[in-house]
Amino acid sequence: MKSILSLLSALLLSTALAHTEVTAMTPTANATVSAPKMVTLTLSEPVNLRFCTFRVMAVPAGKTAAQASELALTAKAGAAGLVNLPARSTGMAATVRIPLKATVAPGQYVVAWKLLSDDGHPVTGFNAFTVK
């Protein structure tokens, strides 16, 4: 009986400590696509968009996708290389649509995000795709 209670407690605790994550992205990670008009992220749970940052940036020459994601998250809106339009969404959402500028040139792009999980911990991540 004691082991069953311990197992249940561990399961409940691990669920309570889980962080929000991106479960799907369109275009998919590492895909090669025609210039998209939008990037869509699906999250594991709704987040307050007011406390989140989503950016899409052309990967600069000589940089990795990971390096570009850091640049994207620290860049001011409208900075060179960013191809996402300014976010206008507020409220809670588990699906995030990031509109892109009309001119997305061929090359590699990084989608970077910084989320605030329900438990108050920030979660950052990125995926890349290529425009042909």
Distance CA 64, CA 26 (A): 20
Instruction: Look at residue 13 in the predicted model and tell me its pLDDT.
Output: 45
Instruction: Look at residue 18 in the predicted model and tell me its pLDDT.
Output: 73
pLDDT per position as a tens digit, 64-86: 999 999 999 999 988 999 999 98
pLDDT of 120 > 80? The answer is yes
Contacts of 40 (CB under 8 A, 6+ apart): 25, 26, 95, 96, 97, 98
pLDDT of 116 > 70? The answer is yes
May I ask the CATH class of domain 19-131?
mainly beta
How confident is the prediction for the chain on average, in pLDDT?
89
Q: Where are the domains of the chain?
A: 19-131
The answer to whether residues 84 and 124 touch, using CB atoms and an 8 Å cutoff, is: no
For residue 94, give the H/E element and its range.
strand 92-99
Distances (CA, A) of 69 to 54, 93, 106: 10, 22, 18
CB atoms within 10 A of CB 41: 22
As a whole number, mean pLDDT of residues 1-23 equals: 61
As a whole number, mean pLDDT of residues 22-32 equals: 98
Instruction: Look at residue 118 in the predicted model and tell me its pLDDT.
Output: 80
Q: Say whether pTM exceeds 0.95.
A: no
pLDDT per position as a tens digit, 29-46: 999 999 999 999 999 999
